[in-house]
Structure 1
Amino acid sequence: MEFQSCVKIINEWDIVAARQLGRNVAKELGFGTVDQARITTAISELARNIYLYAGQGRVCIEKLYENGKSGLLIIASDEGPGIPDVRKVMEDGFSTSGGLGAGLPGVKRLMDEFDLDTNVGKGTEIRATKWLR
């Protein structure tokens, strides 16, 4: 964990900036274009959720080096309202914003590891990892 870079999510342009950061780091680590697209899509979903539901937060990208493997960790965090029903938001097709509902289940599918920590009234942190094959 020697490198960590964050983008504050306050407006829609920040979602674009977070995607770009993720794509650049993924490229540096040697991810192919398909995995780069998976990573940027996951970042998009997470950043958009921060923007829509928490108002503001941040997306951090970290390079991982573990047991001879390289990977990328996305940490999306906010101090928003939290998620009252985690089971519900992890259901495919569930959406409170009128979106496709690919949201968090989609992020979980796109990435190799997914961890959600939320406290109602305090905020949410999601950590999603993609390992280089």
Structure 2
Amino acid sequence: MPRRRHARFDCSPGCPVEATLSLIGGKWKGVVLWHLLQGTLRFNEIRRRLPEVTQRMLTNQLRELEADGFIIRTVYPEVPPRVEYSLSDRGRSLEVVIKALKAWGEANVLTAGRAGLSRRPNKDKDREAAPVA
């Protein structure tokens, strides 16, 4: 029976890597978590830091992060109401992961972009450039 090449790194559906990415892999979740690493923020402060995100999308991402236990939403009984978002202990535990993703992105994605490379390789160009066996 042939041995699988990377069997010890197998990550079939349901593995911890896939589960983690499904929790923090929303379109804006990683960036929201990054900004909350700096400290507690109000909704509009987050929105100003992410001008491309719609109010609805940001609200949904914050709700999901709260439901998954990564952030704490604190509502103060004031007029007008004040709502603040901060990282929970679970969210703070992602700090090394988020910083590692940022460092990897700076080293691999941003430098590739500066070199004129696209974010996603063009499969047709790869096929054209590949030698025919």
Same structural fold, with TM-score higher than 0.5 when normalized by the shorter chain: no
Q: Point out which structure has higher relative CO (alpha carbons under 8 A, 6+ apart).
A: 1
TM-score normalized by the length of structure 2: 0.28
Greater helix share, structure number: 2
Rg (Cα) greater in structure: 2
